[in-house]
Amino acid sequence: MLELAVERAPERVYGFSLAQALAERDGATRLVAHGTLYKALDRMRRAGLLAAEWEDAEAAAEEGRPRRRVYEVTAEGRRLLADAPQPAPRPGWGQAPA
């Protein structure tokens, strides 16, 4: 999730955009559940990896929708992401794992 938020920077991400991006990346047909998504975002926000703020009410009203809560990866989040080990690519069919 942090990775996706960094990839999309400087554009700020919000709940539904993250759910869509996660589904696209994993090739999933279903969007991630509300509970799973917002619990994870809340934990990362409380841990200081993400900063959250509510967008301008007028901008949302102009588009005729509720305000979104937008997220941005903090310096701490970027540092953690840079330090994290890269996942090994999964072996395809017929290939022996390294």
Residue 37 sits in the site that holds another protein (CB under 8 A): yes
Residue 62 sits in the site that holds another protein (CB under 8 A): no
Which helix (H) or strand (E) element contains residue 44? helix 34-46
Candidates 28, 33, 75, 84; binder of another protein (CB under 8 A) is 33
Maximum distance among all alpha carbons in the chain?
56
Q: Tell me which stretch binds another protein (CB under 8 A): 5-13, 60-68, 75-83, 90-98.
A: 60-68
- 67/78 with CB nearer another protein: 67
CA distance 78 to 43: 16
DSSP percent split of the chain into helix, strand, coil, nearest 5: 50, 10, 40
Give me the residues that bind another protein (CB under 8 A), please: 14-17, 19-20, 30-39, 42, 54, 65-69
